[in-house]
Amino acid sequence: KQEVTQIPAALSVPEGENLVLNCSFTDSAIYNLQWFRQDPGKGLTSLLLIQSSQREQTSGRLNASLDKSSGRSTLYIAASQPGDSATYLCAVIKGGKLIFGQGTTLQVKP
């Protein structure tokens, strides 16, 4: 059974700091991995999709990496801003469905 774990559960950093969010999964036979952002009480916004054949994807200040052999993905956020405050969820895609971690809640202090 595929399990997805995100550490830490919560993170508080000062504005401008670079940070890394971690995601681990137990079954390396995944197809893709997707990172999402969720603001309180809202839906999910897709940030990055990494296909299983890729090692990383970049979008603006975000960079996501994927290491299937070790069952890990990281989301790197450069020069964090207060507007980055949200919950970040990773999800592995297997069999067409998403299996989510519990998320990391990020607070960026001005």
Partner 1 sequence: DAGVTQSPTHLIKTRGQQVTLRCSPKSGHDTVSWYQQALGQGPQFIFQYYEEEERQRGNFPDRFSGHQFPNYSSELNVNALLLGDSALYLCASSLNPGTYNEQFFGPGTRLTVL
Asked if residue 59 binds partner 1 (CB under 8 A), the reply is no
Nearer to partner 1, 45 or 81 (CB): 45
- Find the binder of partner 1 among 66, 75, 77, 89 (CB under 8 A): 89
Asked if residue 96 binds partner 1 (CB under 8 A), the reply is yes
- In the structure encoding, which two tokens stand for residue 20, read together? 């890394």
Specify whether the CB–CB gap between 28 and 52 falls below 8 A. Answer: no
Residue 56 CA, chain-centre distance (Å), reads: 12
Distance CA 100, CA 93 (A): 9
- Find the binder of partner 1 among 12, 51, 54, 59 (CB under 8 A): 51
Question: Which region among 14-22, 60-68, 73-81, 95-103 touches partner 1 (by CB under 8 A)?
Answer: 95-103
Question: Which residues are bridge partners to 67 per DSSP?
Answer: 72
